[in-house]
Structure 1
């Protein structure tokens, strides 16, 4: 089994180095860091430029670790309030960490890589002894910072990382292949995809790739026009995505959404337009959030084991902080939850037969 190699932090710049480069006193640098509003803008800018040039970070983490008082883990997730999956995972992570004597600091990046980098930096500056991240797409600055600090780090909701970070999650591509094969087995030949890949999202991109794999394997075409890219996985974006697909000459009979929230939006928009699921079209999602089983019809989707991911992440970090190696790849099962939003492919219909939204 592959193991996570131990790393060592490189030499860090000191506050005095920043002061020397900016040609100010050390106390001025301290004020810029802690009370920037009281420092003249031109001096503040000079100090901030020196901080960037030297890649300086305050010594809060070093002090905490040397004193043996750092029992804090930091996590950055794409969203909390907008995704039951991430909130479930964070709750499980926090519960397991608490049993091991650690507290958790949580931040949300809103799928913004620069914002994620700044949050990672803040968590490290304030003494986080370990990090839990999401996915495998990070800015080069974030990767450099993680390597520099050398603290135990895991990433989640993906089963492997290109960056040598221990990963815990499902095989998103394979899960999407299996979901698509289900639809193919029901006779569907015209597919549409609504995917939150307009921002960099490696999990959703892997799901889109999985759909393409299964369709190519079956010899079923997927025109570029049948893939709707959205930024955020929201119900409203699901509604808009379906509205776009309904304008196609050949309306898809199977709609694959990369999250359940997008699928719920599709089903809502379909009802508004007088379409019946699964009689007129089948709809599938991804994640299996609690509400997926309670919709009418209930949503066919892929189970993403968020709570198990959170618990394993806590266990791995605890082991790593005790000096043990941890696996580089941990793949969890992605089970299909087949429900009534999927059915046998209907007869061909065109966009002219779909009722316009009033």
Structure 2
């Protein structure tokens, strides 16, 4: 098969060879009408410019790193990858996922960035950065965008979820339903990192106090780290034991994530707790599993959040000034069958 040349594309589009080169490499000084005419001509002739050649000529790597903690196969992280991919792939960027499990690995990642010079931007997902690491971000010459981060410090832009608002919605619902003994159940931390989801427990207690709950009416169950348990089921059963051992037991709980709330519901039912008759349960995330489990939860959409983060990243790589550098997303309460009005035992 004869290979189509750049010159043939130029003839097809009615422009010079250099204009074709600039248009297909995404360089400035080519108006959008000409760029589209060149693109269509290249498409008709099945011509594609070498990605490596384009990168060398433009000074861009056409790669964006997305940094995750530990695993990529969680509901949240896989949703983030999908959203980022949808935006950046259309602009011919490759997405490079990176995972770190310890602060040592995180520090090594940031130490390598300036010397490697192999990505055009970095999106950091959910990880709480130490002050020294935010200083590294500030010194980088490439855009850095925080997604679901605990802070905006050091980032050129960010997209955050208003966890405090989510906890306000949860506490308000339980109060309207007449629950006076309420609790927050944390999920075991997967490793060294502090995640944005771990802010929810503090926010829950703060919102409960603002709503008029006293210290003897608010409880918080800490489940430690996942490494403290032999299996995930063991962690779930340990959390259930904490809830059941409190006398009198809370009449409603809010759980850090849906992924922990759903198996916790199953464990409590195994020990004879009726949901929601004996105990109302609220999750957080509105992961795919939540609707199937009929779990009341706080909805967030990580695909939409990551699309927003990716658009901010694109704009920064183009040298554009963002109208809104830091975006706060408001969560939504999803009312389902795991919550109900409190009814005293004597009235049942």
* TM-score normalised by the chain length of structure 2: 0.73
Q: Residue 262 of structure 1 corresponds to which residue in structure 2?
A: 260
1-structure distance, mates of 2:286, 2:81: 16
Describe the superposition over 1:106-139 as per-residue Cα deviations: whole angstroms up to 9, x where unpaired.
12234x3333233344565261110101246213
2-structure distance, mates of 1:120, 1:265: 36
Contact residue 159 and residue 331 of structure 1 kept, 8 A? no
Structure 1 unaligned blocks of 5 or more? 1-63, 350-358
Contact residue 65 and residue 97 of structure 2 kept, 8 A? yes
1-structure distance, mates of 2:125, 2:197: 12
Cα 1:328–1:272 change in 2 (3 A) is same
Q: Residue 273 of structure 2 corresponds to which residue in structure 1?
A: 275
State the shift of 1:340 in Å. 0.4
Q: Residue 52 of structure 2 corresponds to which residue in structure 1?
A: none
1-structure distance, mates of 2:188, 2:320: 36
State the shift of 1:66 in Å. 8.2
Cα 1:164–1:76 change in 2 (3 A) is closer
Q: Residue 157 of structure 2 corresponds to which residue in structure 1?
A: 166
Cα 1:220–1:154 change in 2 (3 A) is same
Answering whether residue 125 of structure 2 is matched by residue 134 of structure 1, we say yes
Query: Which of residues 185, 199, 204 in structure 2 aligns to 1:211?
Result: 204
State the shift of 1:258 in Å. 1.1
State the shift of 1:190 in Å. 1.0
State the shift of 1:171 in Å. 0.7
Cα 1:346–1:235 change in 2 (3 A) is farther
Describe the superposition over 1:210-238 as per-residue Cα deviations: whole angstroms up to 9, x where unpaired.
21122112221345863324335966534
Contact residue 135 and residue 158 of structure 1 kept, 8 A? yes
Q: Residue 113 of structure 1 corresponds to which residue in structure 2?
A: 103
2-structure distance, mates of 1:121, 1:268: 44
For residues 308-327 of structure 1, the aligned pairs below 5 Å read: 308-326=304-322, 327=324
Larger radius of gyration: 2
For residues 226-241 of structure 1, the aligned pairs below 5 Å read: 226-232=220-226, 237-241=235-239
Cα 1:182–1:232 change in 2 (3 A) is farther
Q: Residue 221 of structure 1 corresponds to which residue in structure 2?
A: 214
Contact residue 157 and residue 168 of structure 1 kept, 8 A? yes
State the shift of 1:101 in Å. 1.2
2-structure distance, mates of 1:194, 1:278: 16
Answering whether residue 65 of structure 2 is matched by residue 74 of structure 1, we say yes
State the shift of 1:252 in Å. 1.1
Q: Residue 143 of structure 2 corresponds to which residue in structure 1?
A: 152
Describe the superposition over 1:289-315 as per-residue Cα deviations: whole angstroms up to 9, x where unpaired.
1111001xx111111110111111111
For residues 79-90 of structure 1, the aligned pairs below 5 Å read: 79-81=70-72, 83-90=74-81
Contact residue 128 and residue 151 of structure 2 kept, 8 A? no
State the shift of 1:83 in Å. 2.1
Q: Residue 329 of structure 1 corresponds to which residue in structure 2?
A: 326
Cα 1:82–1:247 change in 2 (3 A) is farther
Q: Residue 286 of structure 2 corresponds to which residue in structure 1?
A: 288
1-structure distance, mates of 2:253, 2:277: 13
Cα 1:84–1:136 change in 2 (3 A) is closer
1-structure distance, mates of 2:339, 2:299: 16
Q: Residue 343 of structure 1 corresponds to which residue in structure 2?
A: 340
Q: Residue 240 of structure 2 corresponds to which residue in structure 1?
A: 242
* TM-score normalised by the chain length of structure 1: 0.71
